[in-house]
Chains A and B, each alone.
Chain A
Amino acid sequence: MKTERARELYSDYAEGTLSPAMRLALEQHFESDPTARADYDQFARIYSLLDSADAVEVDVPLGFRARVLELATQEQAKRSAVSQPRSLLDWLRPASRRWATGGLAALAVIGLAVFLPRAMSPNSVNISDVRGLSLAAPRNVSASVITGVSTQVTAGGGTQYLFHVHLPRAVPNATVTAFVALDAASLLNPATRAQATPALRQPQTLANDEEMQIPITLQQAASPGSTLNMYLQWQTPDSKTSGAQIVFTPIAGAGRASTAAPGGLLDALQQISAVYGVTVIADADTVPSQAAQADVSSPDALAALKAVAGPLKQDVQKLPDGSFHVFPNL
């Protein structure tokens, strides 16, 4: 047997898959040529090493998944730019939902919620490993589940609002539901809230190491003083822990609102959002019942918020993206 022919059989011989005749021929070749046997023995050692060597294991870089999703979202946006966006009305029929037709005229496409791994803050400390990110919470901050609202221009030139959602650190996972409306009153009343437009097509499970981004796109111009409003509720699987927040975000180009008659705290917060052009997030399940009126002569949004929230034992904090979170002062 020629040397090169013998070498072609090495792997099969090592794996025991040669036919009996071929195995015999190869072994006779080894007996007749000691260097051939030595050659095979070296091969067998390398084969064995390849099989037994621990495969190199590396961690996936932080932000990998977020980057892939970002690119995929861009791809999807390019695709949908060449097709008509789905009408919200199409999505919400059948006719049993008659309540939808009036309030939905100004709302267009509710996009698909995107889940991203939570980005590491550049100011984080005590990061022990990539997997169990231990982000030290800043001091004196009450955790807001809605962490902000950003906007981006759609392919069609419209404005898409992205509501960013992240669970409190103590909550490993929860089911999230959300409703959106231009008319905040419908969200504030539990009886009408369930009839409002769902911002998520179905309740979504969110894990603590993820950020959910809920996209809402407006199709037509809104009247002055309008805000885009979302009511978001979350509950843990065992139903023992839950929470709700409402967020008012100004609609671009909506114009300055006129002073409204006194209502409750949430009415005042909505007005401040519209007048000062800031996003205001409030804990919806602990709203005081007293009347409140926004003082829109305050120099800035923070002052206006403190003026209305302070007397009702509410604190105000400014979030990293410029939004404001109003929460009970316990």
Chain B
Amino acid sequence: MDDAISARQRDAKAAANAEEKEIIERCKRGDLGAFNELIKKYEKQVYNFAYRLTGNYDDANDVAQDAFLRVFNAIQSFRGDSSFSTWLFRITTNVFLDERKKRRAHPQTSLDEQLDLEESSVVRQIEDPGPTPDLLVEGKERGQILHEAVGALPEYQRTMVVLYHSEQKSYEEIAEVMQLPIGTVKSRLNRARLALKEKLSPIQELFNS
């Protein structure tokens, strides 16, 4: 029985993949109707990914819109080496990172920088100019606090946290999206989680329940 269900699921997935492949081929021929179908299929996923990266509707709208336009302009170069979903996430990530680069008025200080001391190294703490965590707690749900803390991470770390924990991508998929070695993805994600721990430790009792 389970085998029959698995076989049906496999068949359904194969049919869906074949259908998507056909839509992509039509897109490559300039079929706007096919492009409309692609947007319809992925708009919610892309928009939510953009929202989780940017933290606000307007920026998410810009990122998602530009991502689809880049897909439209670059669809000819999609060879199917990765899944279309991975390619789309890669494009959305690049749009987000490109737009952030343009906006930066001052050099970004990465938490990757370390100060070497004599016997140990410490990660430089970046002074948070925002309200202190205990002030943030008031009136806010735990999830919202976590969302804001993720939003305060440097872009690369934020992107990886969102890809791994919100979008449920594997390390391998994130490596494909970010075009980085898996080892680099793992170490940067680890540092992002450590940064979140530092940021949220003053209000850790809120997260202990």
Chain A residues close to B by CB (< 8 Å): 2-4, 7-8, 10-12, 42-43, 45-47, 49-51, 53-61, 64-65, 67-69, 71-73, 75-76, 112-116, 204
B208 — which chain A residues lie within 8 A by C-beta?
Answer: 45
Q: Known: A50-B165, A68-B65. Contact between A8 and B190, CB under 8 A?
A: yes
B146 — which chain A residues lie within 8 A by C-beta?
Answer: 49-50, 53
A8 — which chain B residues lie within 8 A by C-beta?
Answer: 187, 190
Chain B interface residue count, Cβ-Cβ cutoff 8 angstroms: 49
Interchain CB contact under 8 A, A56 and B51: yes
B68 — which chain A residues lie within 8 A by C-beta?
Answer: 68, 72
Distance (Å) between the CB of B19 and the closest chain A CB?
13
B189 close to chain A: CB less than 8 A: yes
**Of A53, A58, A64, the contact of B65 (CB 8 Å cutoff):** A64
Q: Known: A2-B120, A4-B120. Contact between A42 and B201, CB under 8 A?
A: yes
Q: How far is the CA of A42 from the CA of B193 in the complex (A)?
A: 10
Interchain CB contact under 8 A, B196 and A114: no
B90 close to chain A: CB less than 8 A: no
Q: Known: A73-B32, A204-B33. Contact between A46 and B197, CB under 8 A?
A: yes
Which label, helix, strand, loop or mixed, suits the secondary structure of the B interface? helix
Interchain CB contact under 8 A, A115 and B190: no
Q: How far is the CA of A46 from the CA of B47 in the complex (A)?
A: 26
Q: Which residue of A lies closest to B36 (CB)?
A: A115
Interchain CB contact under 8 A, B193 and A47: yes
Interchain CB contact under 8 A, A55 and B52: yes
B44 — which chain A residues lie within 8 A by C-beta?
Answer: 59-60
Distance (Å) between the CB of A10 and the closest chain B CB?
6
Q: Known: A58-B47, A58-B57, A112-B30. Contact between A49 and B64, CB under 8 A?
A: no
Q: Known: A7-B194, A51-B165. Contact between A71 and B65, CB under 8 A?
A: yes
**Of A4, A71, A113, A116, the contact of B121 (CB 8 Å cutoff):** A4
Q: How far is the CA of A73 from the CA of B165 in the complex (A)?
A: 36
Q: Known: A43-B193, A72-B72. Contact between A55 and B48, CB under 8 A?
A: yes
Distance (Å) between the CB of A62 and the closest chain B CB?
11
Interchain CB contact under 8 A, B47 and A43: no
Which label, helix, strand, loop or mixed, suits the secondary structure of the A interface? helix
A67 — which chain B residues lie within 8 A by C-beta?
Answer: 65
- Within B47-92, which residues are at the interface with A (CB < 8 Å)? 47-48, 51-52, 57, 60-61, 64-65, 68-69, 72-73
Interchain CB contact under 8 A, B193 and A69: no
Q: How far is the CA of A76 from the CA of B65 in the complex (A)?
A: 16
Q: How far is the CA of A43 from the CA of B31 in the complex (A)?
A: 49
Residue with the highest number of chain B CB atoms closer than 10 Å, among A7, A54, A68, A75:
A68
A69 — which chain B residues lie within 8 A by C-beta?
Answer: 32, 35-36, 39
Interchain CB contact under 8 A, A11 and B190: yes
Q: Which residue of A lies closest to B37 (CB)?
A: A115
A68 — which chain B residues lie within 8 A by C-beta?
Answer: 39, 65, 68-69
Distance (Å) between the CB of A236 and the closest chain B CB?
20
B8 close to chain A: CB less than 8 A: no
**Of B64, B123, B193, the contact of A11 (CB 8 Å cutoff):** B193
Distance (Å) between the CB of B64 and the closest chain A CB?
7
- Within B144-160, which residues are at the interface with A (CB < 8 Å)? 146-147, 150
Q: Which residue of B lies closest to A76 (CB)?
A: B30
The 10 closest A-B pairs by CB, nearest first: A50-B165, A11-B190, A55-B166, A72-B72, A60-B47, A115-B36, A68-B68, A46-B197, A65-B39, A43-B197
A50 — which chain B residues lie within 8 A by C-beta?
Answer: 146, 150, 161, 165, 193, 196
Chain B 127-143 interface 0/1 with A at a Cβ cutoff of 8 Å (1 = within): 00000000000000011
Q: How far is the CA of A112 from the CA of B27 in the complex (A)?
A: 12
Interchain CB contact under 8 A, A72 and B35: yes
A47 — which chain B residues lie within 8 A by C-beta?
Answer: 193
B111 close to chain A: CB less than 8 A: no
Q: Which residue of A lies closest to B73 (CB)?
A: A75
Distance (Å) between the CB of A36 and the closest chain B CB?
13
Interchain CB contact under 8 A, A112 and B39: no
B25 close to chain A: CB less than 8 A: no
B110 close to chain A: CB less than 8 A: no
Residue with the highest number of chain A CB atoms closer than 10 Å, among B30, B31, B146, B194:
B194
B166 — which chain A residues lie within 8 A by C-beta?
Answer: 55-56
**Of B35, B65, B147, the contact of A56 (CB 8 Å cutoff):** B147
